[in-house]
Structure 1
Amino acid sequence: MGPPLLTSVACRAGKGARADRGDIRPYPLPLDGMTVGGRKETLKCTFHPLLARWMYEGSTAMSAQEPASTPPAPPVPLAALLARRDLGLRLLTGPEDAAVHWVHTSEMADPYPYLLGGELLLTAGVQLNDPARYVERVVGAGAAALGFGVAPVYDTVPAELVEACTRLGLPLVEVPPQTPFTAVARALWRLMAQARLQELRRVTEAQQSLATAAARPAPVPAVLGALASRLGGRAVLFAPDGTESA
């Protein structure tokens, strides 16, 4: 009998990836036409969706009905905004590693219906009648953090607001009077643009390394090695019967 037909590759992603929540999904590699065991096969891989979606979206093996999309901008840790000295932000309570996806400004007494989750919500407390209830609604909406602008309504951040954020674990940031909310939003978008550019470069380098590996005399072990190196995990080739063959 000849060598087993190449049907699929399973790549175990690095830390943080979980199959039970969809972190590990099958996406085809653009290696159509590879001849293994006398037949042309398509090498397929199961690995982290961030790398998979960005590198292989648009492959001929994927559904033609799936719309093309650009890589989403990665979130920015709150600490990156706090590190901007020109903003003068100060963390009053809560973790500084919260992932911020965007900035939203609201002076509604109940901002819950207008939040999507992951926001740094900025407010001057115009309608802050019940700080405890307000924080409960913000946390319930999934906001990443709360930024409170000092002046013109309040001279200092209300103690009741600090207590409520501390109790519920919501990061609370003091925004000084000289920092407009638009400056905070602009800083976040710039940080997100930088992070996205770095991620695109990383993915492009990974794609180039896979293409180079596929062109080598022994493409299967070369591709497996490149995948394992890029993903920080283990790449395995399975035969049609499910046994590990490489």
Structure 2
Amino acid sequence: MNEPAPSAGRAPTVADVLALPVLAAGQPRVVAGPDRLDRPVRWVHITELTDPASFLKGGELVLTTGMPLPDDTTGVRRYVDELTEVGAAALVIELVRRYHRPPDALVQACRARGLPLVTLARDVNFLEVTQVVHALLLGSQADAMRRTQRIHEAFTALTLRGAGAQDVVRAAAEMSGRTVVLENLVHQALVCEPSGCTVQEALTGWEQRSRAAGAGDRTAVGGPAGWLTAPVSYQGEHWGRLVMLPGDGPAFGPEHVTVLERTAMALTVARLIHATPWEHTAHRAALRELAEQRHSSPEDARARCAALGLPAQDGVFLAVLVDSGPGGAGTEPETLLHRELRSAGVPALVGELSPGRLGILAALRPALPWRPVAERVSRGVLKLLPGATVGVGSPVADLADTARSFREAARVLEATPPGQPLPADRSFHELPDIGLGRLLYALREDTRVQGYAERRLGRLLDHDTRHGTDLVTTLGHYLDAAGNKTAAARRGGLSRETLYQRLRTIERLLATGLESGETRAELHVALMALRGPGAGRTPPPDR
């Protein structure tokens, strides 16, 4: 007969065994300990001894006909006490031969000690029960061994391919079906892979919950929430820990412990392989999710940022982007900037968003002016990276809106050419700084802008190339002077007659007059698009 198996990943419980047809045929009835039927059954033991506890090791389902039970109440209590102290899973008594109802002393003793007592109203073949349950146990153990082997193989493969912390923690969550979190020693959640819940549910109030769970130097279940935790080491020192949240499933079992311990080992290797500190990786991931709006919900984003130490409620948020130039900034500026902001009392996430581009998200108190903070950040950046360009977005009042601030900062950088002078009153650039010339610079790769400039000035450029003339420069002087020919001639170091002759040639080549303000505006825009910011402001020649 095929018997139903318990859920994968755990030993059968008392309830599982009672549901087996071989025992169900005896009409089992639980008369004591109905709330403890989730105890695991490690073995089945048939006994007719008055002191069976001396042959037990714990976890056994004890089967008896009741023949050896003492007649006196004291003896019955001692019998139950010994079974309880050795850790028996349950006592099953057959009400066929000696008893037709369970003795009151036995029921009371079992209830007092919390030992499940089950009666069988009909005759049951105890030998068949042991055969079925032991086969079930052995099969479960074999399955557990195979699953454990698969766990080891999976983490070995992750280690061999150099997986990072995110991949390792994600694998742990998938294998266990539980939410897994990697935190550092100051209880910041650096990696969170939810399973069966949202990031918000997993991380809300993380630091307080984590501290309440207590600390430990070994894998164990602890704290009021019953977290399973395992320490994570780096170069022989305690670095942080892994946390597996209980979820709605059964209690943690040996496989959960195996998964968490193998995860910790894989993370230790990953930390040695990957030079970037996990704190930096966590900040980068959070910043990219905010800047690109890749988070699943605003609530998840707030919970993730708060778990990294960034206040996510009742504040003002400011995005700062830094183009560090060729070669990128590396991890040192991230560390130093984060440290400087923290010492200034400004919580912030700092991380590289792409090669050569650094992102900073500062959380400010609503009453705190944002410009001094932006100035402090930009000066710190320029001190570390003298050739960098700093763009600042507008402050926003909701963390979910920080993508807008990041977009504004990105537009500022796109419109800021290398070497662009800083404003006189500050060391960063912002949206109001972008005039027509810088706007056209930002659009320089747009084929529509390129096509427009070529249509308006192409003939003039071709003529200069073929004949070695410099009519484009002359046109620039004229347009810069707003059509004032005397000022244009002086600016170009030309006589008025020469200037007039060149302007007539320009009008012929472009097939348009230069007296119209609209025409001059169109040509000026084309010239600025062609040469970039400041192209129309050609300096006068040296005298």
TM-score, normalised via structure 1 length: 0.60
Q: Which moved more, 1:224-233 or 1:103-112?
A: 224-233
Query: Given the alignment of the two structures, is residue 132 of structure 1 paired with residue 71 of structure 2, yes or no?
Result: no
State whether residues 94 and 123 of structure 2, in contact with CA within 8 Å, keep that contact through their aligned partners in structure 1: no
Letter in 2 for 1:78: V
CA distance in 1, matches of 2:106, 2:238: 57
2:37 is matched with 96
SS state at 1:103 partner: strand
CA distance in 2, matches of 1:241, 1:165: 48
SS state at 1:107 partner: coil
> How many residues are matched?
173
CA distance in 2, matches of 1:145, 1:159: 17
Deviations 1:174-210 (A, max 9, x none): 1343311112212221221332233233223323322
Give unmatched runs, 5+ long, in structure 1: 1-72
Deviations 1:154-188 (A, max 9, x none): 22222221121111110011134331111221222
CA distance in 2, matches of 1:185, 1:214: 43
CA gap of 1:186–1:90, structure 2 versus 1, over 3 A, is: farther
The CA deviation at 1:77 is 0.7
CA distance in 2, matches of 1:224, 1:105: 46
Deviations 1:23-72 (A, max 9, x none): xxxxxxxxxxxxxxxxxxxxxxxxxxxxxxxxxxxxxxxxxxxxxxxxxx
1:204 is matched with 149
CA distance in 2, matches of 1:206, 1:112: 37
1:156 is matched with 101
Q: Which has the higher helix share?
A: 2
2:255 is matched with none
CA gap of 1:242–1:107, structure 2 versus 1, over 3 A, is: closer
CA gap of 1:141–1:213, structure 2 versus 1, over 3 A, is: closer
SS state at 2:130 partner: helix
2:234 is matched with 238
State whether residues 90 and 174 of structure 1, in contact with CA within 8 Å, keep that contact through their aligned partners in structure 2: yes
Match of 1:169 among 82, 91, 114: 114
State whether residues 87 and 183 of structure 1, in contact with CA within 8 Å, keep that contact through their aligned partners in structure 2: no
Which protein has greater RCO, CA pairs closer than 8 Å, 6+ apart? 1
SS state at 1:116 partner: coil
State whether residues 90 and 117 of structure 2, in contact with CA within 8 Å, keep that contact through their aligned partners in structure 1: yes
The CA deviation at 1:242 is 5.5
CA distance in 2, matches of 1:213, 1:205: 12
CA gap of 1:242–1:97, structure 2 versus 1, over 3 A, is: closer
Give me the identity figure in percent.
Answer: 29
Higher alpha-carbon Rg: 2
1:213 is matched with 158
Match of 1:113 among 46, 49, 54: 54
CA distance in 2, matches of 1:241, 1:138: 44
CA distance in 1, matches of 2:163, 2:133: 42
Match of 2:125 among 172, 175, 180: 180
1:146 is matched with 91
2:13 is matched with 77
CA distance in 1, matches of 2:48, 2:151: 45
The CA deviation at 1:134 is 1.8
SS state at 1:99 partner: coil
The CA deviation at 1:74 is 5.9
2:515 is matched with none
CA distance in 2, matches of 1:116, 1:186: 19
